[in-house]
């Protein structure tokens, strides 16, 4: 028994000894159902690519970086457990997440365990509005972006807008911004914009009953906001087209979720995707910097698909965290947070830095430089990078 | 407005037929084997992927891919039965009910993760059976849904004929009523179990293959239909195929109409999946064995 104890103790010390040889960074993303696994996988690939490059260039503080990506499955309780596991493993910081509801649980662990956390692709205002010391965000806040979408809706002159909203923090957050913005200001013709919405669970596969309801509305809606991600987003596009509702001359379709940018969009909706409107945080019209060109080309070469801005955000998150560690010359969480508040990293999406302003509340530790554009597919099978630009918006609060 | 309600009824009927195809397989398995197959939704998913790859990689016609996919899932079902469920009929398994629950749950989780590893998390769309939309007056119906409804009806009629009119059907019914009595008159219950499990999961596979062009396919596509199938077979009466068909159509109609008649129109679709459970609760309050259920069934 004593021998066994000695062996186990030696193994434990060996493990601790080897842990000191590298710096452990955590990643969180939905890699399986019911989360948006397609987005989570893309983010994971981008994180791994960033870590491989940093290690090839010598690592940080003279040590190699090891990345551990935990699957949050799109579930808040899994996200919370994943953050705790990462903290127990001794990670010096965490990046990632796609679902706002999950990130909402994760920021509580980040706060409690003093874990610097850069949220890569979760948009709900509340995530930074809580103004937690250890929480930073590269993705735009809903209010940062969707006020601009509301501006676009008014500028085009839409006056009868309906929305199908995913029953998640992200979906309800987007809906809240649109309802507030469209309800307070008239459209370009001075008309009041009528905004109607329905909420649906992420698991719904048949949206036809509600789409038929929209079709029976008089006057007919002139814009459908498809505030869904993943399969639901594709199904709404497909089923709205099947019943002759949208996209048509009378009714436009705005697919809000990131899934509309993936190649699977065309595989799943086919011809019905023609004239669908969507949004992206990256488009060549925003300027193809050498950093973007290099990232897109490397990602395509390595993984055989064009990355979306979710991948770019995850990639930039890793580099930004590593730069902060380098600036801090320490892996102490408070030192890293102090460095993150001062960091300026020339990333793929632009120069990443975090605001320390506390008004509006969501601006705290938010990257204010996120750009986004509204685009429309004008050919079947078109890449989002070649889609027609409808609304350029260099976002400023 | 009448047109709107008619459109909802037609949609509910078609969705109900889709549910039926899935639920009758589960009901058949329960009636003969007296176990609930918790991997049923995942067999549905495997059917979707089989037919997708048969059509896209091997060039099968989409309808042919459905039937070959169904046979593929039957083969998987037979393998599962022989390797993992056969111990149910031996004395070495004491707690048969618990064994079946844990085993089929485990198979379901395994199949789902295997699909995630093999096919990736991406949503896929098999080729259309017939592209486009049929306009019937004011109704716009996706041609794929019409094909699903048509093929579904044919499959169910064939199943009802086999169960009701053929020797195999009589043997299956005999085993479902009394295994020992069936054995005394020369019916091999284990062979009938194998057949029922194969046909049952094959039907789930056919449902998954048919639904692909309508609701798309992904490794998690079977989770909700699996749950709905349980609701349906309890609603229709455990083990009753006729009950499963009627309950499926009822569920399709209730979901379609319920989500548009719901008092708060902004939340109608959010509660869509709850309508079936509400219907089930109401039926069970007045008829605890379901619409056409037997009083007592248990794996002995």
C-beta separation of A74 from A93 below 8 A: no
Which of A203, A242, A269 is closest, CB to CB, to B133? A242
In a domain, B90, yes or no: yes
Q: Could you tell me which of B204, B196, B201, B157 has the C-alpha nearest to residue B174?
A: B196
Strands A388-394 and A371-376: antiparallel
Compute CA A323 distance to the chain's CA centroid, rounded to the nearest angstrom.
Answer: 21
C-beta separation of A211 from A205 below 8 A: no
C-beta separation of B15 from B159 below 8 A: no
To probe the interface with B, which of A207, A212, A237, A270 has the most B CB atoms within 10 Å? A212
Q: Is pLDDT above 90 for A29?
A: yes
Rounded to an integer, what distance in angstroms lies between the CA atom of residue B44 and that of residue B210?
10
Close Cβ partners of A104 (under 8 Å, ≥ 6 residues apart): A76, A124, A126, A127, A169
Mean pLDDT of A45-69: 96
In a domain, B299, yes or no: no
* Neighbouring-strand partners of residue A224: A162, A253
In a domain, A156, yes or no: yes
- Contacts with B4 from chain A: Cβ below 8 Å: 212-213, 215-216
Total domains, chain A: 2
Rounded to an integer, what distance in angstroms lies between the CA atom of residue A229 and that of residue A301?
26
Q: Whole domain around residue A50: which residue ranges?
A: 2-140+290-366
A252 and A230 co-located in one domain: yes
> Can you state the percent helix, strand and coil of chain B, rounding each to 5?
75, 5, 25
Interface of chain B toward chain A, CB-CB under 8 angstroms = 1, 3-4, 7-8, 11-12, 15, 112-113, 116, 120-125, 133, 140-142, 215-216, 218-221, 223-224, 255-257, 259-260, 265-270, 272-273
pLDDT > 70 fraction of chain A, expressed in percent and rounded: 93
Yes or no, beta carbons of B215 and A235 under 8 Å apart: yes
**Continuous segment of H or E residues that includes residue B280:** helix B272-286
Rounded to an integer, what distance in angstroms lies between the CA atom of residue A192 and that of residue A185?
7
In a domain, A251, yes or no: yes
User: What is the tens place of the pLDDT at every residue in A82-121?
Assistant: 999 999 999 999 999 999 999 999 999 999 999 999 999 9
In a domain, B289, yes or no: no
In a domain, A236, yes or no: yes
In a domain, B111, yes or no: yes
**Continuous segment of H or E residues that includes residue A135:** strand A135-137
A131 and A149 co-located in one domain: no
Apex CA B63: angle with CA A274 and CA B242, to 5°? 110
In a domain, A285, yes or no: no
Yes or no, beta carbons of A268 and B8 under 8 Å apart: no
Any idea how long chain A is?
A: 397
Q: How many CB pairs under 8 A join A and B?
A: 120
Total domains, chain B: 1
User: What is the tens place of the pLDDT at every residue in B215-267?
Assistant: 999 998 999 899 999 999 999 998 888 899 999 999 999 988 888 788 887 78
Yes or no, beta carbons of B133 and A205 under 8 Å apart: no
- Contacts with B266 from chain A: Cβ below 8 Å: 196-199
Yes or no, beta carbons of B124 and A41 under 8 Å apart: no
User: What is the tens place of the pLDDT at every residue in B46-78?
Assistant: 999 999 999 999 999 999 999 999 999 999 999
User: What is the tens place of the pLDDT at every residue in A113-171?
Assistant: 999 999 999 999 999 999 999 999 999 999 988 988 999 999 999 999 999 999 988 99
Rounded to an integer, what distance in angstroms lies between the CA atom of residue B125 and that of residue A58?
44
C-beta separation of A30 from A71 below 8 A: yes
A85 and A226 co-located in one domain: no
Rounded to an integer, what distance in angstroms lies between the CA atom of residue B62 and that of residue B54?
8
In a domain, A56, yes or no: yes
Query: Residue A221: which CATH number?
Result: 3.40.50.2300
Shortest distance, CA A38 to any CA of chain B (angstroms): 6
A167 and A268 co-located in one domain: yes
- Contacts with B273 from chain A: Cβ below 8 Å: 201, 203-204
In a domain, B249, yes or no: no
The strand order across the sheet containing A64-71 reads: A64-71, A22-29, A94-96, A117-119, A135-137
Query: Scanning the structure block, which residue is given the tokens 């989500």?
Result: B259
Yes or no, beta carbons of A270 and B125 under 8 Å apart: yes
- Contacts with A262 from chain B: Cβ below 8 Å: 122
Yes or no, beta carbons of A267 and B124 under 8 Å apart: yes
Q: Is pLDDT above 50 for A14?
A: no
DSSP characters for A9-22? Answer: HHHHHHHHHHHTTE
Q: Whole domain around residue B21: which residue ranges?
A: 9-220
Position A210 scores a pLDDT of: 86
* Structure tokens, B88: 């149910």
In a domain, B296, yes or no: no
């Amino acid at each position: 028994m004593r021998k066994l104890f000695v062996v186990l103790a030696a193994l434990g010390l060996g493990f601790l000894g080897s842990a000191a040889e590298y710096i452990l960074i955590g990643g969180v993303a939905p890699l399986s159902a019911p989360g948006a696994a397609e987005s989570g996988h893309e983010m994971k690939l981008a994180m791994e690519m960033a870590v491989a490059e940093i290690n090839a260039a010598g690592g940080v503080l003279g040590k190699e970086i090891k990345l551990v990506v935990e699957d949050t499955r799109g579930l808040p309780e899994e996200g919370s457990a994943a953050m705790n596991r990462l903290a127990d493993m001794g990670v010096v910081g965490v990046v990632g997440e796609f679902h706002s509801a999950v990130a909402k649980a994760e920021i509580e662990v980040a706060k409690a365990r003093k874990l610097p956390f850069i949220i890569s692709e979760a948009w709900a205002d509340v995530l930074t509005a809580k103004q937690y010391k250890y929480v930073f965000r590269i993705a735009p806040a809903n209010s940062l972006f969707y006020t601009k979408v509301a501006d676009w809706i008014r500028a085009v002159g839409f006056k009868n807008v309906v929305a199908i909203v995913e029953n998640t923090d992200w979906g309800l957050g987007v809906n809240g911004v649109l309802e507030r913005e469209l309800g307070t200001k008239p459209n370009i013709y001075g008309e009041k914009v009528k905004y109607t919405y329905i909420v649906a669970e992420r698991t719904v596969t048949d949206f036809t009953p509600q789409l038929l309801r929209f079709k029976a509305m008089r006057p007919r809606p002139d814009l459908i906001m498809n505030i869904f991600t993943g399969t639901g987003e594709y199904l709404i596009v497909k089923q709205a087209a099947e019943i002759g509702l949208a996209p048509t001359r009378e009714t436009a379709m705005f697919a809000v979720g990131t899934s509309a940018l993936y190649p699977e969009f065309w595989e799943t909706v086919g011809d019905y995707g023609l004239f669908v409107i969507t949004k992206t945080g990256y488009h060549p019209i925003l300027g193809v910097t050498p950093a973007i060109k290099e990232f897109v080309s490397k990602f395509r070469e390595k993984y055989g698909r064009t990355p979306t801005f979710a991948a770019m955000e995850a990639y930039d998150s890793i580099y930004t965290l590593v730069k902060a560690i380098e600036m801090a010359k320490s892996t102490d969480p408070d030192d890293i947070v102090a460095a993150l508040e001062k960091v300026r990293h020339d990333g793929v999406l632009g120069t990443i830095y975090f605001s320390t302003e506390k008004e509006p509340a969501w601006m705290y530790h938010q990257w204010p430089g996120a750009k986004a554009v509204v685009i429309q597919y004008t050919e079947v099978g078109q890449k989002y990078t070649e889609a027609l630009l409808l609304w350029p918006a260099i976002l400023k609060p | 407005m009448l047109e709107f309600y008619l459109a909802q009824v037609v949609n509910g009927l078609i969705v109900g037929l889709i549910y039926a195809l899935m639920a009758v397989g589960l009901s058949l398995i329960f009636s003969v084997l007296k176990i609930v197959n918790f991997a049923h939704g995942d067999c549905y998913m495997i059917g979707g992927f089989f037919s997708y790859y048969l059509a896209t990689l091997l060039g099968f016609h989409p309808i042919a891919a459905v039937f070959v996919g169904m046979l593929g899932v039957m083969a998987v079902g037979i393998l599962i039965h022989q390797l993992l469920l056969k111990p149910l009929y031996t004395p070495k398994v004491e707690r048969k009910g618990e064994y079946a629950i844990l085993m089929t749950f485990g198979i379901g989780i395994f199949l789902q993760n295997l699909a995630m590893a093999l096919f990736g998390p991406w949503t896929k769309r098999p080729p259309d059976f017939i592209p486009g939309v049929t306009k019937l007056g004011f109704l716009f119906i996706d041609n794929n849904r019409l094909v699903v409804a048509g093929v579904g009806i044919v499959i169910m009629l064939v199943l009802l004929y086999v169960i009701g009119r053929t020797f195999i059907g009589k043997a299956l019914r005999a085993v479902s009523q009394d295994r020992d009595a069936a054995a005394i008159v020369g019916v091999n219950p284990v062979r009938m179990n194998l057949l029922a499990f194969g046909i049952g999961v094959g039907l789930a596979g056919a449902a998954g293959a048919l639904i692909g062009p309508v609701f798309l396919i992904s490794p998690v596509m079977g989770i909700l239909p699996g749950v709905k199938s349980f609701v349906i077979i309890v609603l229709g009466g455990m083990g009753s195929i006729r009950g499963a068909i009627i309950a499926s159509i009822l569920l399709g109609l209730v979901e379609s109409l319920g989500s548009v008649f719901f008092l708060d129109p902004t939340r109608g679709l959010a509660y869509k999946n709850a309508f079936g459970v509400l219907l089930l609760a109401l039926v069970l309050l007045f008829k605890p064995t379901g619409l056409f259920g037997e009083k007592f069934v248990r794996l002995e």
